Amino acid sequence: MVKVSITQKPPVLLDLQASIHLAVEIIEEAASNGAKLIVFPEAHLPGYPTWIWRLRPGGDIALGNEIHAKLRANAVNLKAGDLKPIAEAAAKYQIVVVMGAHELESEFSGSTLFNSLFVFDADGSLLNRHRKLMPTNPERMVWGMGDGSGLKVVETAIGRIGCLICWESYMPLARFALYSQNIDVYVAPTWDNGDTWVASMNHIAREGGCWVLSTATAITGSDIPDDFPGRSQLFKNEEWINTGGAVVVKPFGGIAAGPMHKEKAILYADIDLEASKNARKSLDVAGHYGRPDLFKLNVDRSTVSPVSFQDDQSLKKSPWGRG
């Protein structure tokens, strides 16, 4: 058995360094309680952009630009070593960490943000970065579209982990791309919650024959910093902006822990990794039940970046095409 943990404690919205400090404290707390895996919510560093669902379309452009500029200044720059404290904490406490973050693409444009998940092993090594493939509705005003380079299941100290972000879990081919890699634990950080989301996590646990761990951030209006642009216009102190919903689902379905609502806390569960393979005896969608003679999935796992244009000699006059 392995003890896993899921945090739904809020970060300090739009403050990267303060949020990283809190995240390290959460990692220490989880490890001190015996957890060997800690999962953070979607875009935890420095907080999910919940304001995009509240800004008036076409009416709050100046405010939206001000908030986005602050977000960009507080996004994770991997090349600058922003996640070094997280890696060091993973190694210090010998715990696998799945961290959601806004990631700044710093090498080419220096401006585009991605909704990314980072998987650190218990020795602090970075095993995978997955960028959200398709931002949902107004999220497309915040994040660029990711690529297939992170659609992989990685071997960690506690088993084989694969991750999808929020509504990527409604993309059947993305799910199958993970199922087909001998997955033990399916991690789904999100901003969604409620009965429909839990039902979806149950479906995935049955379909994939794997453990499913999911959570959003439990956050109230009172958690929004006083210096957040447009705070009084966008948030009320007493409201629950999101209630969290951390949940652990057994392979083939059934709740093992949670859902945890309206608690700024950590959810714990003991899981048996062998249960994943046992669950696929009857239904193995990537194996004997999958009919590979009829169906095939090809995934482009290359990293997409502007350098691919620059390497094309036919486009010498302009790195973006004819010009």
* Residues belonging to the active site: 42, 132, 166
Residue closest to 131 by CA, chosen among 80, 81, 78: 78
Q: Are strands 113-120 and 126-131 parallel, antiparallel or unpaired?
A: antiparallel
DSSP string for residues in 136-170 = -GGGGGT-----GGG---EEETTEEEEE--GGGGG
Work out the angle at residue 129's Cα, subtended by the Cα atoms of residues 124 and 131, and round it to the nearest 5 degrees. Answer: 155
Other CB atoms within a 10 A radius of the CB of residue 285 amount to 18
Place of tokens 């960690």: 156
Place of tokens 């990527």: 168
Residue pair 39/104 in contact (Cβ under 8 Å)? The answer is no
Q: What is the largest CA-CA distance in the chain?
A: 60
- Dist CA 141 CA 144 (whole Å): 8
Number of separate helices (H) and strands (E) present in the chain? 8, 13
Hey, what are 137's tokens? Answer: 């509705």
Q: Mapping DSSP to helix (H, G, I), strand (E, B) and coil, where does residue 269 land?
A: strand
- Dist CA 49 CA 63 (whole Å): 13
